[in-house]
Amino acid sequence: MKTMTCKQMGGPCDTAFQGKKADDVIKAQDSHLKERVSGGDQTHSEALKEMQGRWKRPVAGMGWYMKTKKSFAALPED
């Protein structure tokens, strides 16, 4: 297991997500952003817009995805 924070993936807070794969923490952050914004937390709204926009611009989105996977791979095991 490895841990990445919301902030390490471009979000505004230090909420930690754990997973065996980068995709696990990416999905957890996706849910986190949606939950926070739907609950009225505007500090996460910009990160949510960026996350949603990544999939509208596949080339740019893939750059973020590969960077995040590389950062995850470099983390030590918990």
User: Would you state the pLDDT for residue 12?
Assistant: 96
10 CB burial (10 A radius; 0-12, 13-18, 19+): middle
Mean pLDDT of 1-7: 97
Structural contact between residues 44 and 37, judged by C-beta atoms closer than 8 angstroms: yes
Q: Taking 90 as the threshold, does the pLDDT of residue 8 lie above it? A: yes
pLDDT of residue 55: 77
- CA–CA gap between residue 43 and residue 55 (Å, rounded): 21
Largest CA distance in the chain: 34
What is the tens place of the pLDDT at every residue in 19-77? 999 999 999 999 999 999 999 999 999 999 988 888 788 888 898 999 999 999 999 99
Q: What is the pLDDT of residue 51?
A: 87
